[in-house]
Amino acid sequence: MGIRGWPALARRMVDARKLFIKESLARCAGRGAGPRGRYRHRHLKDTSQDFARYVEYIDALGPDASVLMGSDAMVLAALAQGGSGAVSAAAATFPELMVAIKDRFLAGDLGEARRLQRAWAPTSGACS
């Protein structure tokens, strides 16, 4: 039995349900034995601040998915693991900084991306 709309509403569950989450996400991405390929949800925002879980979401949904980080402090780390970007409280206040982190990362300038991420760290609590 499933919950109506579950794929679109995937949220962090207790650790005992970790396997269920991974199987459900794989099904949502059309990579499992879903009913006639019905589920094609390939977008997820994770706000758990559990980085290991975030990486599991990327692995479960596959390379075509858009997995967004919900923690401003982990944006660069998320990009380095294959994440798509962030839904960021900081971007509402400091959009240039958050865009610059991603731009520098994509340009291969990891040192500058790291410096920008660290520059954000002291103020991150104010926006979240």
Tell which residue, 79, 67, 66, has the closest CA to residue 107.
79
Instruction: Give the pLDDT of residue 63.
Output: 79
**Tokens representing 44?**
């997820």
How far apart, in whole angstroms, are the C-alpha atoms of residue 126 and residue 81?
26
Domains observed in the chain: 6-121 (3.20.20.70)
Least confident of 39-43, 52-56, 60-64: 39-43
Give the mean pLDDT of 117-124: 75
So what's the pLDDT on residue 126? Answer: 52
CA 115 to each of CA 14, 71, 75, 80, 98: distance values in angstroms, whole numbers, following the listed order: 35, 17, 13, 15, 12
89-106 residue pLDDT tens: 888 888 899 999 999 999
Instruction: Assess contact for 22 and 56: CB atoms under 8 A.
Output: yes
Total Cβ atoms within 10 A of residue 36: 5
